[in-house]
Structure 1
Amino acid sequence: MANNPSATAPEFGPLPPRFAELKREIIASYPDFEARVTKAWGEILTELDKVTKEIAAQGSSNVPEVNFSELGSLSQERANEIRNKGCVVVRDVVDDAEARTWQGWLRDYVAKNLVDGFPEGDKQFFQLYWTKSQIKARSHPNLLATTTWLNKMYHTKDGEKLEGIDLDTPLMYADRFRIRKPGVQWDAHPPHVDGGGIERWEDEAFRQCFDDIFNGNWREHDPYDLKNRVFAKSSIYGRPNQKSSKATVFRTYQGWLALSETAPNEGTLQVFPNIMLSNPYMIMRPFFAPKEGAQPDSFDPNDWQFDSMSPDFHGIYSYGKAFVGPRPNTKTHPHLRLDETMVSVPKVYPGDMVFWHSDVIHAVEKQHVGKEDSTVMYIPAMPYTAINAAYIEKQKKSFLEGVAPPDFPRNLGEAQCVGVGNADDIQSPIGRRAMGFAIEVA
Structure 2
Amino acid sequence: MSVELGPCPPRFVELKKQIAASYPDFEARVTKAWGEILQELDKTTKEIARLGSQNVPELNFSELGRLSPERVEEIKRKGSVVIRDVVDDAEAREWQAWLREYVTKNPDIEGFPENDKQFFQLYWTKSQIRARGHPNVLEVTKWLNQMYHVKSDEKVEEVDLTTPLTYADRFRIRHPGVQWDAHPPHIDGGSIERWEDDVFRACFDDILSGNWREHDPYDLRNRINARSSLYKRPNQSTVFRTYQGWLALSETAPHEGTLQVFPNVLLSNAYIVLRPFVSPKKGKSADSFDPEDWQFDISYADFPGIYSLGQAFAGPRPNSQSHPHLRLDETMVSVPKVYPGDMVFWHCDVIHAVEKEHAGKEDSIVMYIPAVPYTPANAAYVERQKESFLKGLAPPDFPVTKGEGHCVGVGKVDDIESTVGKRAMGFPIQVA
Q: Decide whether the 8 Å contact of 2:320 with 2:329 is kept in 1.
A: yes
- Shift, 1:264, TM fit: 0.3
Alignment-derived partner of residue 426 in structure 2: 436
Matches of 2:274 and 2:241 in 1, distance apart?
24
What residue identity is the alignment partner of 1:267?
G
Once structures 1 and 2 are overlaid, which stretch shifts more, 85-94 or 413-422?
A: 413-422
Q: Decide whether the 8 Å contact of 2:306 with 2:313 is kept in 1.
A: yes
Q: Tell me the alpha carbon deviations over residues 227-267 of structure 1, each in whole angstroms, 9 at most, x when there is no partner.
A: 0001111111122434xxxx631110100000000000000
Alignment-derived partner of residue 200 in structure 2: 206
Residue 106 (str. 1) matches residue 113 (str. 2): no
Matches of 1:395 and 1:199 in 2, distance apart?
23
Matches of 1:159 and 1:365 in 2, distance apart?
42
**Does the residue aligned with 1:104 lie in a helix, a strand or coil?**
helix
Alignment-derived partner of residue 290 in structure 1: 280
Alignment-derived partner of residue 44 in structure 1: 37
Please, which of 48, 61, 68 is the counterpart of residue 68 of structure 1?
A: 61
Residue 321 (str. 1) matches residue 315 (str. 2): no
Matches of 1:392 and 1:13 in 2, distance apart?
33
Shift in CA distance, 297/439, structure 1 to aligned 2, threshold 3 Å: farther
Alignment-derived partner of residue 348 in structure 1: 338
5+ residue gaps, structure 2: none
Q: Tell me the alpha carbon deviations over residues 205-228 of structure 1, each in whole angstroms, 9 at most, x when there is no partner.
A: 000000000110000000110000
Matches of 2:317 and 2:338 in 1, distance apart?
26
- Shift, 1:319, TM fit: 1.2
Alignment-derived partner of residue 384 in structure 1: 374
Please, which of 5, 8, 12 is the counterpart of residue 12 of structure 1?
A: 5
- Shift, 1:417, TM fit: 1.2
- Shift, 1:30, TM fit: 0.3
Matches of 1:318 and 1:51 in 2, distance apart?
31
Residue 360 (str. 1) matches residue 350 (str. 2): yes
Instruction: Give the TM-score normalised by the residue count of structure 2.
Output: 0.98
TM alignment of 1:137-176, pairs within 5 A: 137-176=131-170
Alignment-derived partner of residue 417 in structure 1: 407
Matches of 1:48 and 1:329 in 2, distance apart?
15
What residue identity is the alignment partner of 1:321?
Q
Alignment-derived partner of residue 193 in structure 1: 187
TM alignment of 1:364-375, pairs within 5 A: 364-375=354-365
- Shift, 1:14, TM fit: 1.1
Q: In angstroms, what is the RMSD of aligned CA positions?
A: 1.3
**Does the residue aligned with 1:191 lie in a helix, a strand or coil?**
coil
**Does the residue aligned with 1:72 lie in a helix, a strand or coil?**
coil
Alignment-derived partner of residue 394 in structure 2: 404
Corresponding residue pairs, total: 429
Please, which of 111, 118, 127 is the counterpart of residue 133 of structure 1?
A: 127
**Does the residue aligned with 2:65 lie in a helix, a strand or coil?**
helix
Alignment-derived partner of residue 58 in structure 1: 51
Residue 86 (str. 1) matches residue 79 (str. 2): yes
Residue 178 (str. 1) matches residue 137 (str. 2): no
- Shift, 1:412, TM fit: 2.0
> Deviating runs (4+, > 6 A) in structure 1?
none
Q: Tell me the alpha carbon deviations over residues 17-63 of structure 1, each in whole angstroms, 9 at most, x when there is no partner.
A: 11011001000000001111111111111100000000001000000
Alignment-derived partner of residue 255 in structure 1: 245
Alignment-derived partner of residue 15 in structure 2: 22
What residue identity is the alignment partner of 1:384?
Y
Please, which of 231, 235, 243 is the counterpart of residue 241 of structure 1?
A: 235
Q: Decide whether the 8 Å contact of 2:20 with 2:26 is kept in 1.
A: yes
Matches of 2:13 and 2:264 in 1, distance apart?
29
What residue identity is the alignment partner of 1:303?
D
**Does the residue aligned with 1:13 lie in a helix, a strand or coil?**
coil
What residue identity is the alignment partner of 1:269?
L
Matches of 1:73 and 1:21 in 2, distance apart?
50
Q: Give aligned-pair identity as a percent.
A: 74
- Shift, 1:439, TM fit: 6.8
What residue identity is the alignment partner of 1:185?
Q
- Shift, 1:322, TM fit: 1.2
Q: Decide whether the 8 Å contact of 2:419 with 2:429 is kept in 1.
A: no
Q: Decide whether the 8 Å contact of 2:189 with 2:238 is kept in 1.
A: no
**Does the residue aligned with 1:69 lie in a helix, a strand or coil?**
helix
Matches of 1:296 and 1:396 in 2, distance apart?
48
**Does the residue aligned with 1:289 lie in a helix, a strand or coil?**
strand
Q: Tell me the alpha carbon deviations over residues 345-389 of structure 1, each in whole angstroms, 9 at most, x when there is no partner.
A: 000000000000110000000100101110000000000111111
Q: Decide whether the 8 Å contact of 2:248 with 2:339 is kept in 1.
A: yes
What residue identity is the alignment partner of 2:263?
P
- Shift, 1:159, TM fit: 3.4
Q: Tell me the alpha carbon deviations over residues 132-182 of structure 1, each in whole angstroms, 9 at most, x when there is no partner.
A: 000110010000000000000100101322111100000000000000000
Matches of 2:322 and 2:75 in 1, distance apart?
27
Alignment-derived partner of residue 215 in structure 1: 209
Matches of 1:410 and 1:139 in 2, distance apart?
24
